[in-house]
Chain A
């Protein structure tokens, strides 16, 4: 099946610093990737849609200047949490859309961010 990886799997950072999370589709090319956030005991919440070669589309209430998304190639999208604060601590998950009928999305294993 299609494999999506994320790096790092977990990160601890100080308040005010920036953190970059990478999402890679390992065995297929993805023109569209998605970034989700999940707080404890809650469901996944879509943050933004990342399109290769163009600007990301953010969901309502998600600050685009705080969560910078770059989709520079067909296999890599990055999410940078700028000036992180403790309330940004969460589980960040990406997915990549597999080309073809139905365009199934495959998810990465997630990145746990803890901001101190």
Chain B
């Protein structure tokens, strides 16, 4: 699976949009971009995934660049409950978790 690079930590003010970047420059044509988050002491929660088009669901939006080498997860109105570690994963067969981005929502 392609490797991903994420900033180790980010802060975002409550109520603002949280934009989490991810680089995956070695992604291949059939690999999806997945985003999960893990709140302390819980199993990872699926957020969204995409192949090449931008995607939106009730939780977030996923913007994938045209060359597919990077993506951004957008939480439109961050709340305190969005504080978690966010993982960007590129997978063909298995999910390989990196270190993710620790997002802290500031009141």
Contact = CB atoms under 8 A, between A and B. Distances in A.
Interface of A: 1, 4, 6, 34, 36, 43-46, 49, 91, 93, 95, 102, 104-110, 112
B94 interface: yes
Interface of B: 32, 34, 36, 38, 41-46, 49, 51, 87, 94-100
A93 B44 contact: yes
B43 A109 contact: yes
B42 A104 contact: no
B100 to A, nearest CB: 7
Contacts of A104: 34, 46, 49
Given A109-B42, A110-B41, A95 B49 contact: no
A39 to B, nearest CB: 13
Contacts of B99: 43
A109 B40 CA distance: 11
A105 B43 contact: no
B96 A46 contact: yes
4 A-B pairs closest in CB distance? A107-B43, A44-B97, A43-B97, A110-B43
A65 to B, nearest CB: 22
A93 B45 CA distance: 12
Given A34-B94, A49-B94, A95-B95, A44 B44 contact: yes
Given A34-B95, A95-B44, A107-B45, 17 more contacts: A36-B97, A43-B87, A43-B98, A43-B100, A46-B94, A46-B95, A46-B96, A49-B94, A91-B41, A93-B44, A95-B43, A104-B46, A104-B49, A105-B95, A107-B43, A110-B41, A110-B43
Contacts of A91: 41
B27 to A, nearest CB: 15
A54 to B, nearest CB: 16
Nearest to B100: A43
22 contacts: A34-B94, A34-B95, A36-B97, A43-B87, A43-B98, A43-B99, A43-B100, A45-B97, A46-B95, A46-B97, A49-B94, A93-B43, A93-B44, A102-B49, A104-B34, A105-B95, A106-B46, A107-B36, A107-B44, A107-B45, A109-B43, A110-B42
